[in-house]
Amino acid sequence: MNALRGFLDRDILEIHDNSFFVVVGNVHPSGRVIAYPKYIKGSGGFWLKENISYQRVFKYYSAKEVFEACKKLYPHYLVYDEVFDAMMFEVPYSDIKRHYKPEDRLREIISNPGDKLLQLLSDLVTLLTEVSNIKCDDIGVTGSILAGIHNVEYSDIDLVIYGLENALTIRELLRESLDNRKFGFSRLRGEVLLEYASRIAEAHPLSMREAIHMYKAIFWNRGLFRGKFFSIHPVPKPNEVKEKYGDKMYRGLGIVEITADVVDNSESLFTPSKYRIENVNIVNGPKVEDIFEVVSYEGLYMDIADIGDRIKVLGKLEKVYDKRKGSQYFRVVVGSVEAEGKDYIRVVEKK
């Protein structure tokens, strides 16, 4: 990884009031970073750093919950972004006290773990690199561990995998090994799975049954390692980020519901997750031609559909102006404020 790289998805920013923000996506305006607050100072928090107690800002991190809380806590970061045609939370460079990079933090931990949670993290990364042959430099850690405020007993392990090929390799490894107790892995089961599914169902338009099915049938990046919950979050390498801020302009056209066939899911592992679609049928909403893709900012819908699957989607319809190519098309976005938490992607027919 390039030491001089810019801001990537899942990086963490510490701002001048000592709160920690999580970077969203890999395309940011000049002088500002699209991010949301995750840990703020507060009494009774589980996370501590330099005698400061921290607590989570959100319970579920749905788009609606994030927007409402950010608007209350940091209204000065709420700006109208003309590129995205939406109110966005953008942190100016001048307010950033420190930029935490997942790969740098992981190298520090491996050289000197310091406590049992960090030792467990080091063991997990060692196992993944040995089995997959992925370089340690292409792995990082995010969440409270990246911010240096983790709680040894309560914090989870949230890993970042850089690069599409590396992410595909880890996906295949975990699909085969997540039930392999010889490696220390296990899937969520019993009460743990029910609690996890309950949180998903409460935050998204899904039933408990649907949430449990999604975890068992689709999710490969969430499980237990020696009894500790861990997650995997693929992020593109800097040279894989092809779009620059302003290359495209987006204009919202209301809420739409469609069905469509997935013809390309090569970017579905990242945030935002992208699905190239064809054979689109508009069930409700504006009648337009050339709906080219579905884009999700909700992590729940990462890697949810394979090529050939037919999906049903409710989301924000946008017209996209590609200034580089001089072309335009339409897309459906899941994870917008306008959808008020009602948006979704569902696989209705497997290939």
Q: What are the sequence ranges of the domains in the chain?
A: 12-99, 102-238, 247-349
Q: Give me the helices (H) in 187-323, please.
A: 190-203, 208-217
* CB count in 10 Å sphere of residue 254: 10
Residues 23-44 have pLDDT tens digits of 999 999 999 999 999 998 875 5
- Angle, helices 102-111/116-132, rounded to nearest 10 degrees: 110
Class of domain 247-349: mainly beta
Ranges 1-15, 58-72, 177-191, 316-330, most confident = 316-330
What local confidence, expressed as pLDDT, does residue 9 receive?
96
Q: Which residues pair with 330 in a beta bridge?
A: 291, 319
Tell me the pLDDT band of 52, cut-offs 50, 70 and 90: confident
Q: Do domains 102-238 and 247-349 have the same CATH topology?
A: no
Residues shown for the chain: 351
**Residue 180 pLDDT level (bands cut at 50, 70, 90):** confident
Residues 251 and 326 sit within 8 Å (Cβ to Cβ): no
pLDDT, residue 56, reads 83
* pTM, entire model: 0.92
DSSP class of residue 137 equals G
- Name the strands in the sheet holding 139-142, side by side, starting at the edge strand that comes first in the sequence: 139-142, 157-162, 228-235, 222-225, 185-186
Question: What is the spatial distance between Cα 232 and Cα 222, in angstroms, rounded to a whole number?
Answer: 7
Residue 42: per-residue pLDDT? 72
Which residues neighbour 241 within 8 Å (Cβ) at sequence distance 6 or greater?
8, 26, 27
CATH fold of 102-238 reads Beta Polymerase; domain 2 (3.30.460)
* Nearest alpha carbon to residue 343 among 305, 300, 310: 300
- How confident is the model at residue 4, as a pLDDT? 63
The answer, yes or no, to whether residue 77 has pLDDT greater than 80, is yes
